[in-house]
Amino acid sequence: MKSISRLKLFQLFFLVFLIYPFNTSSIGAPVIEKTIKQYAQECSRKLGDSIPDFDCLEDGVNIPIYFKEAEVDENSEIENCDNPTLIHNVKAPCATGSRLGVMRNEGSKVISVFICRKYKHRPNINRYDDIAIIQHNEKTGATCWYQSGEMSNGGIDSKIKSPLKSDMVNESNTIKWETPKEFESNKCVACHTSDPFIHTPYLRKTLKKELYKIGHNTIDSPYYFPPYYFPVNKQWNNLKHIHFKSPTPGSFCTKCHRIALNPNGTGDCEKYLNDSVGLDDPSSKHSRKDMRWMPPLSHKKTPEELKIIMDDIKNCCQNPNLVHCEAIPISGKK
């Protein structure tokens, strides 16, 4: 009887393995890979709210593009602008017509922010090249991400089905949500390293309209990804930020902001540190000098002072074990 029971147990385990393939590249125990619908269901339970259907056009606001401080018509084509998107490898960083929207149920601590991006000129056409959502619980810090897959040249329709309905078929050019395994490789946290929301010049004017809905993160705001969502990438599970143990030039910035790094060496130290103070990126044809957003005018610094501050921060980013600094985890209420 014992041998029969063990055989049946083995057969059952093998059947489960075939149905639910395990990912063995995890930093811990093997986990079951999830569909986007399963992921959205888990996020809804963990965060306490869910992503509804939405319309980029009706539920979002236009992200205005500026040239020489004048707003460009959202159906116009422009090559250079004051506030290009800072996403690298985009052929048209000044493309007009992208939209941003904020979704929050009354009294809820969960905020969902969507962006419908255009990476090419699409005049008078409500089609988009990229849809992304950040779902964030402001109390616990738990955060989930949703990213659209590639579509045809016709773009993605304005009417977006919730990831919870990912098995439903809509009209032509509807959205296809990537699975967690697929969009994990896009390294969302390579940019959103210290906080869920990034306030750059690309969104500055839009955020003035929507800022009261999103709010500002502080150095103590909780922020984390429950480990069973993204178990295969250490980058998603070990976020840290620079802390100065005593007043130094670099602490001028960290009094208000987290400056984060992660195990792969990307994060704020690599990307937004230079962008924020206007240090040019050699890979971009757009000058950062006229785009800088830090420090604010009320804390204006000379170029020489900024260099001293940046050098101090970069030194700590490269070696967090220096006497005056350390890397401490960004945590949440798990």
Q: What is the pLDDT of residue 208?
A: 65
From 146, 180, 214, the end of a domain falls on 214
- Are 147 and 27 contained in the same domain? yes
- Are 178 and 258 contained in the same domain? no
Are 167 and 37 a contacting pair, CB within 8 Å? yes
- Are 132 and 168 contained in the same domain? yes
Closest of 174, 146, 122 to residue 36, by C-alpha: 146
pLDDT along the chain (334 residues), means of 10: 48 38 38 76 91 94 91 90 83 91 89 92 85 92 87 80 72 70 73 84 74 64 70 62 91 89 66 74 54 78 89 91 90 62
Q: Does some domain include residue 30?
A: yes
Q: What is the pLDDT of residue 223?
A: 87
- Name the H helices within 137-224: 180-184, 204-214
Q: What is the pLDDT of residue 54?
A: 95
- Are 131 and 244 contained in the same domain? no
Q: Does some domain include residue 219?
A: no
Q: Does some domain include residue 272?
A: yes
- Are 151 and 299 contained in the same domain? no
Q: What is the pLDDT of residue 149?
A: 78
Counted domains in the chain: 2
- Are 188 and 279 contained in the same domain? no
Q: What is the pLDDT of residue 27?
A: 36
- Are 196 and 292 contained in the same domain? no
- Are 201 and 243 contained in the same domain? no
Are 87 and 93 a contacting pair, CB within 8 Å? yes
Write 183-186 long-range contacts (CB < 8 A, 24+).
183/145, 183/146, 183/147, 184/230, 184/232, 184/233, 184/236, 186/147
Domain boundaries, position 303: 238-329
- Are 202 and 244 contained in the same domain? no
- Are 197 and 316 contained in the same domain? no
Q: Is the pTM of this model over 0.75?
A: yes
